[in-house]
Amino acid sequence: MYTRSLLTRQLVYLAKKSNGAETAGFARFRSTASADGLQSQATSQPATAGGDSQITTAKDRKPKTNAPFAKNLFLGNFDKEMLVYPEIMDSKAIDVNAKIPEETLQAIKELGLFGQQIPQEYGGLGLNATKYARIAEITSQDGSIAVTLAAHQAIGLKGILIAGNEEQKQKYLPKLAVGEMTAAFCLTEPGSGSDAASIQTRATLSEDGKTFLLNGGKIWISNGGTADVFTVFAKTEVEVNGEKKDKVTAFIVERAFGGVTSGKPEDKLGIRGSNTCEVHFDNTPVPVENVLGEVGSGFKLAMNILNSGRFSMGSSGAGILKKLIGWTAEHATTRRQFGKHLSEFGLIKEKFARMAVTAYAMESMAYLTAGIIDMYEEPDCAVEAAMVKVFSSEGCWTCVSECLQILGGLGYMKEYPYERYLRDARILLIFEGTNEILRLFVALQGLQHAGKQLKELVKKLRNPLNNPGLVISTAWSRVRSRTSGGPAAKLRLNEDLHPTFKKEAMALEKGVGQFQMAVESVLTRHGNKVVDQQMELKRLADIVMDLYAMTSVLSRASRSYCIGLRNAEHEVMLAKTFCYEANRRVQTNMQELAKGSVANMDENYQHIADTIFKNGGFAAEHALARNW
């Protein structure tokens, strides 16, 4: 009965949509093949006045953009549509993809994996985000291949896809799709890693205005030694309101233009199969036609490119974890110590359970985000993608480490692949935006969004002497909600999930309400200076990450249980376990935020770090030091 009501609700949305009515929500259930029986129901709905309404596919008439879910969490607005897990477009294609085995680079090229996201008219596979994520699960079996592919298509040629004009697409995409040319993304320089605005590479326009001369050097470029097409970011002089300024511009640079030299491959800890090297440009002539987008719009393009490739780390991490859990489980069930199999010991069981829960959450988050990306023309989910990346990279690192731990000494040996996976997994926390930067990004984006609405309220709260009534009433309502065990549950999330998740839905709801109060208090406490309070921003980012993970996990588990997938009860248990742990983390972070920077040790951290810098190292005297 519950299932029917859920489906009916989806169909109502669908009908409203095909009616042409602009709704804030979106239809999730849009499969043609598996919904035959329901199609007639759709037409018989009284809401559809249009008679024979075609069920639209995602290709045509995609809505422009979505209401940003994570950013609205900062305001305490929970979009219940998120609790409806997206249905995959074409399940038959998924089966086919899952059978792709591991092969060498040539075989991969022949498969067309070098052009996964390139539209079919240019010779690529034309996959959408979800399918791309699904394939990433498989290509992640080998870290080096995954990184080579990602450097080529997720960032290397994404610029041409996003901002290239027709000529550029026609010229480059066909060759890139079949792997005849490889692409690379050149942004990082010795003096500018996270701070992308401070690059020094310059592109000066020639006298006749037809060529740019590129001068500078980039470091740590994946595929730098083998690539033929580079997306290079350089500073150009641009006139803005009559004033000359240096702005970043993106160029498509071919190695064939001349003046492009690459250094020797860097010796890395992990992903050693991926070619990473320095790339130098010495008066490289770049024709004006090769400017991507507008001159001076390179910075935004770089941010867009980087934001768009992040979410697939969730599915690739989950893919490799699932495989590793399988191998490790086999080991645990065969190895005997103290007269028992390892799998019978509590500590081992706990490790496996934690890994399974983390992998489940990673996967759920990744595909939920991929689903949103596929739904809209210009999806607003940079924050969600960042959260997926942070959660997945850290989860992957800890879980691979645990797998190695379970194997004990065997895991440490080079004969077994675990140490290689561990080394490969370490880079996940660093590239594609370091986790620290992404946490700040998540927190500040959300605060900016919330701040726009809360501006007036916060101004008044920060001026207590002029607004005593408001301050007192806000404080009173906060005290009341704290004593009554959290803010009143108004969202009724449990109605959108299977009844078995009532407790978790309540926890999620309370979490969202508390988060909104925490955001208000943080903004009130610091005002404009909140940008510098990085330790508080980190806590906010962790909270919203856990809330998003809880949402995706509950939504997926509820769907699985409702439609009766195999091992659905196991999924329910995974979901409940994850929600318990996530809720615990959320509550801890909230309490620390509420305590303030002295009681939660933030001030201590600052002082300790300052002393270390003043002392040039560890500042405490040796344990054996004497004073007289």
Partner 1 sequence: MAAVFSANRALHRVCARFGLQRLVACVNFGAPCPSNLFKRDIHFARTVRGRDDRSLETQRNLLVKSSSLFDELAAKRKVDKLTFNTALELYISKESLYRRGHVEFIYAAMQNMERFGVHRDLSVYKALLEVFPKGKLAARTVWQVEFMHFPKQQQCAIDLMDQMEDFGVIPDHDFGMRLEKVFGTDAHAFRKYRRMMYWMPKFKHANPYPVPKELPDDALQLALLALRRMSVDKETKLSVWQGPDITSETNEDTFIASAQSRTQQDLISKHDPNTALFVEGGYSCWLRHASTTYFILRADPDLAALKTWQAAEADSDQNLFDWTLFWENEEASQLVPNRSVHEQDDGTILGMTVTGTSTKDSLVTWIRCLQQANPSLEQIPIVFRLRTPDSQVQVIGSKPNDTGVQVANNQR
CB-nearer residue toward partner 1: 334 or 463: 463
Shortest spacing between CB 247 and partner 1, in angstroms: 6
Q: What is the distance between the alpha carbons of residues 497 and 19, in angstroms, rounded to a whole number? A: 27
Compute the distance between CA of residue 170 and CA of residue 163 in angstroms, rounded to an integer.
13
- To partner 1, the closest distance from the beta carbon of 527 in angstroms equals 6
Q: How many CB atoms lie within 10 A of CB 43?
A: 14
CB of 450 to partner 1, least distance (A): 8
* List of residues 6+ apart from 188 with CB closer than 8 A: 218, 219, 220, 221
* Residue 6 CB, nearest approach to partner 1 (Å): 38
* Residues binding partner 1 (CB under 8 A): 195, 197-198, 245, 247-248, 299, 303, 440-441, 444-445, 447-448, 451-452, 454-455, 458-459, 462-463, 523, 527-529, 531, 613, 627-628
In whole angstroms, how close is the CB of 309 to partner 1 at the nearest point? 15
β-bridge pairing 211-222 and 276-287:
antiparallel
Q: Which of 200, 255, 205 is nearest to 227 (CA)?
A: 255
Nearer to partner 1, 11 or 382 (CB): 382
Q: Which is nearer to partner 1, 61 or 245 (CB)?
A: 245
Asked whether the beta carbons of 522 and 530 are under 8 A apart, the reply is yes
Q: Estimate the crossing angle of helix 346-375 against helix 129-139, to 10 degrees.
A: 150
Closer residue to partner 1 (CB): 84 or 440? 440
183 by DSSP, 3-state: which? strand
Which among 449, 317, 445, 304 has a CA at the least distance from the CA of 389? 317
> Sign of the CA dihedral 469, 470, 473, 476?
negative
- Residue number with CB closer to partner 1 (115 or 451): 451
Cα-based distances in Å from 528 to 82, 317, 447, 625: 31, 37, 11, 46
Rounded distance, CA 184 to CA 305, Å? 12
Cβ closest to partner 1, residue 196 vs residue 562: 196
Closest distance to partner 1 from the beta carbon of 197 (Å): 5
Catalytic residue check, 432: yes
Please give the DSSP secondary-structure letter assigned to residue 189: B
Beta pairing partners, 218: 279
Residue 224, classified by CB atoms within 10 Å of its CB into exposed (0-12), middle (13-18) or buried (19+), is buried
Rg (Cα) of the chain, in Å, rounded?
Answer: 26
- DSSP line for 562-625: HHT-TTHHHHHHHHHHHHHHHHHHHHHHHHHHHH-TTTTSHHHHHHHHHHHHHHTS--SPPTT-
- CA separation for the pair 59, 160 (Å, rounded): 21
* Distance separating alpha carbons of residues 511 and 584, to the nearest angstrom: 10
Nearer to partner 1, 183 or 187 (CB): 187
For residue 133, what are the CA distances in angstroms to 174, 311, 351?
A: 22, 8, 26
The Cα-based distances of 338 to 330, 335, 411 in angstroms read: 18, 10, 20
- Smaller CB separation from partner 1, 4 or 529: 529
CA nearest 270: which of 421, 448, 86, 85?
421
Q: Among the options 137, 189, 254, 432, which is catalytic?
A: 432
Which residue, 191 or 408, has its beta carbon nearer to partner 1? 191
DSSP per-residue letters across 229-298: EEEEEEEEEEEETTEEEEEEEEEEEEGGGS-EEE-PPP--SS-TTS-EEEEEEEEEEEEGGGEESSTT-H
**Rounded least distance, CB 190 to partner 1, Å:** 15
Q: How far is the CB of 278 from partner 1 (least distance, A)?
A: 21
Q: Round to whole Å and give the CA distance between 360 and 398.
A: 14
Give the Cα separation of 296 and 250 in Å (integer). 8
Query: With respect to partner 1, which residue has the nearer C-beta, 212 or 299?
Result: 299
Give the catalytic positions in this structure.
432
